[in-house]
Amino acid sequence: MNGHSSKGIGKVIFSSSLGTLIEWYDFYIFGMLAKTISVQFFPDGNETAALLSTLAIFAAGFLVRPFGALVFGRLGDLIGRKYTFLLTLVLMGGSTFLIGLVPSYKAIGMAAPLLVLLLRLIQGLALGGEYGGAATYVAEHAPPHRRGYFTAWIQTTATLGLFVALGVIMAVKGNMSEAAFTAEWGGWRYPFWISILLVGVSIYIRLKMNESPVFAKLKAEKKTSTNPLKESFGHKANFKMVLLALFGAVMGQGVIWYTGQFYAQSFLENTVKIEFMQNREILLWAIGLATPFFLVFGALSDKIGRKWIMLIGMLLGVIFYRPIFGELLKDANAKEWVTDEANLKNTGNEKIIKSDTIVGKDAITFIRQVENNYSYKGTSFTKRTTDTIINTLEVGGIAGTPRRYIEIEDAKPNYLNFVLSPGVKWKFIGLIWIMIIFVTMVYGPVAAFLVELFPTKIRYTSMSLPYHIGNGVFGGLVPFIATLLSTTFTSDPLVGLWYPIGVAALCFVIGALYLNNKIDKNIND
């Protein structure tokens, strides 16, 4: 066992996983709160534009991850695994904490989104170095016959980080009013501030870690790389493996991961319009029930190989994404419910949320935005309408003619804040769980797969770049591109899914033709 006992490998997994979990927590609280953040850091007037801008800032953090992979991957192959991903943890945690301190757009104008963007870029750079270090560190401690299983513990951290992020947000929001949570210096900032405590604990634990025995041996023998970048990408054979890893595995893995866990949450909130707390509850249950399968498929990959488990996960996503998302949309279709007067109940509590008076030359126009609450077969929802009343001052230009009121009905009312009945809620949990199972299939074995492709002295650099291009660029752009497509081509609410489906399908074909299913037992080279 590379000189380590089961107890020893347990400590290695815990120290690596805890730090990585916290870094993913830091990364994802931004995405979880995207809608709230968009109100704080962008001007009023266009909610869709503000949300897209926020998602673009979120995506920017992913786009720089490959550069972080190059910078910190090089450091990891030069000075070691331990201190490199200790540095990434400090950068990530500090940036997250500072995002929680950035004043709003109302306070400092365009400086607000620019500061948030800068901090997100630092987050992305740091995360670009984190994963490669953690996966490499665990793999180089693990016995050959259980490498897939042990590295799969690292794979759980992204999902568990999302789980913790959701839990913290729900705990904070559940203990205050909506107004208190969304205020300029309200509760939405607390998850960012809390992260500094979590990071402090992780730093303490990581300081007590030892260097990877495989790398330590290489360093003692003075066989470490002097130029990891050149050796990784300047040698034809190794560069070929980098490209194969990217286009034959990680690209597809990235879009499956972000569709199943991240775009699913965004879709439920922004398209299906599930109420904030229940939306997060659905994800928490689905993630919690699916997470053990990372270990199941990691262990299975030790027995039958990594290739086909990952590729089948991609293929299942290609086949089932549109039917699953379509089913989610169908079960919250208030446009049909309002025609069923026998089962539709107005629960009262009409609320005027916006009122404007426009004084014109010949008329006064009253515009009111009104919300009414309804229930339908155990599901409750809000109907938001815009009432327009025009009070003409004169009719036919004749002074003294009685005024005439013209009432214009809202042709396109907005339905939102769905709270699903228990039966439908569990159906949603089941559908999201199925998509996360696809995630566990592609993500569980991928760390062991990447580690086995590259030699020790350039492993950190070589595996980090394809991973972060696949995840950070192709995967990280899923929420932004899918949301952009669905807001552009409004006739098809599922149009955004064609991006991850297309990428996963292409990756499946390349991987099926060119990937090797053989497990490399000896990585001590």
Name the band, by pLDDT with cuts 50, 70 and 90, for residue 4.
very low
Question: What mean pLDDT do residues 160-171 have?
Answer: 86
Residue 58 DSSP SS3: helix
Query: What's the pLDDT score for residue 406?
Result: 72
CA angle 20, 22, 27 (to 5 degrees): 95
292 by Cβ neighbours in 10 Å (0-12 / 13-18 / 19+) ranks as: exposed
Cα–Cα distances in Å, from 462 out to 133, 389, 401, 500, 516?
11, 65, 82, 25, 18
Q: Rounded to 5 degrees, what are φ and ψ at 214?
A: -65, -45
In this predicted structure, the answer to whether residue 6 has a pLDDT above a threshold of 70 is: no
Query: What's the pLDDT score for residue 405?
Result: 65
**Residue 431: CB atoms within 10 Å:** 19
| DSSP string across 257-306 | HIIIIIIHHHHHHHTS-B-HHHHHHHHHHHHHHHTHHHHHHHHHHHHH-S
pTM: 0.80
Is residue 471 within 8 A of residue 254, CB to CB? The reply is yes
pLDDT per residue over 224-281, tens digit each?
Answer: 666 777 777 778 888 888 899 999 999 999 999 989 988 898 899 888 999 988 998 9
In this predicted structure, the answer to whether residue 135 has a pLDDT above a threshold of 70 is: yes
Query: What's the pLDDT score for residue 497?
Result: 96
Query: What's the pLDDT score for residue 458?
Result: 79
Q: In the chain, what are the domain boundaries? A: 6-332+420-514, 338-419
**Residue 93: CB atoms within 10 Å:** 25
> What are 347's two structure tokens?
């629960």
Amino acid of residue 242: V
Alpha helices in 140-275 (DSSP H): 147-173, 178-182, 190-207, 213-220, 228-233, 236-245, 251-257, 264-270
Best CA proximity match to 143, nearest among 309, 294, 13, 297: 13
- CATH assignment of 6-332+420-514, among 1.10.645.10, 1.10.8.50, 1.20.1250.20, 3.40.50.1950: 1.20.1250.20
Is residue 306 within 8 A of residue 449, CB to CB? The reply is yes
Cα–Cα distances in Å, from 331 out to 260, 325, 328, 374, 414?
19, 10, 6, 16, 16
Best CA proximity match to 266, nearest among 426, 515, 469, 485: 485
Is residue 93 within 8 A of residue 195, CB to CB? The reply is yes
Is residue 160 within 8 A of residue 295, CB to CB? The reply is no
pLDDT per residue over 368-419, tens digit each?
Answer: 888 889 999 999 999 988 888 877 655 454 555 556 667 777 778 889 999 9
Question: What mean pLDDT do residues 297-317 have?
Answer: 96
Which long-range contacts link 510-515 to residues 24+ away (Cβ below 8 Å)?
510/244, 510/247, 510/248, 511/248, 511/249, 511/252, 511/307, 511/310, 511/311, 511/314, 512/311, 514/244, 514/248, 515/244, 515/248, 515/249, 515/307, 515/311
- List the helix and strand counts (H, then E) for the chain: 24, 5
Give the list of residues 6+ apart from residue 304 with CB closer than 8 angstroms, or none. Answer: 517
Q: Are strands 404-408 and 414-419 parallel, antiparallel or unpaired?
A: unpaired
Query: What's the pLDDT score for residue 519?
Result: 77
pLDDT per residue over 433-492, tens digit each?
Answer: 999 999 999 999 998 998 888 887 777 778 878 888 888 789 878 888 988 898 889 889
Alpha helices in 407-496 (DSSP H): 422-443, 446-451, 459-468, 478-488
pLDDT per residue over 95-129, tens digit each?
Answer: 889 999 999 999 999 899 899 999 988 888 887 77
Query: What's the pLDDT score for residue 118?
Result: 92
Query: What's the pLDDT score for residue 1?
Result: 40
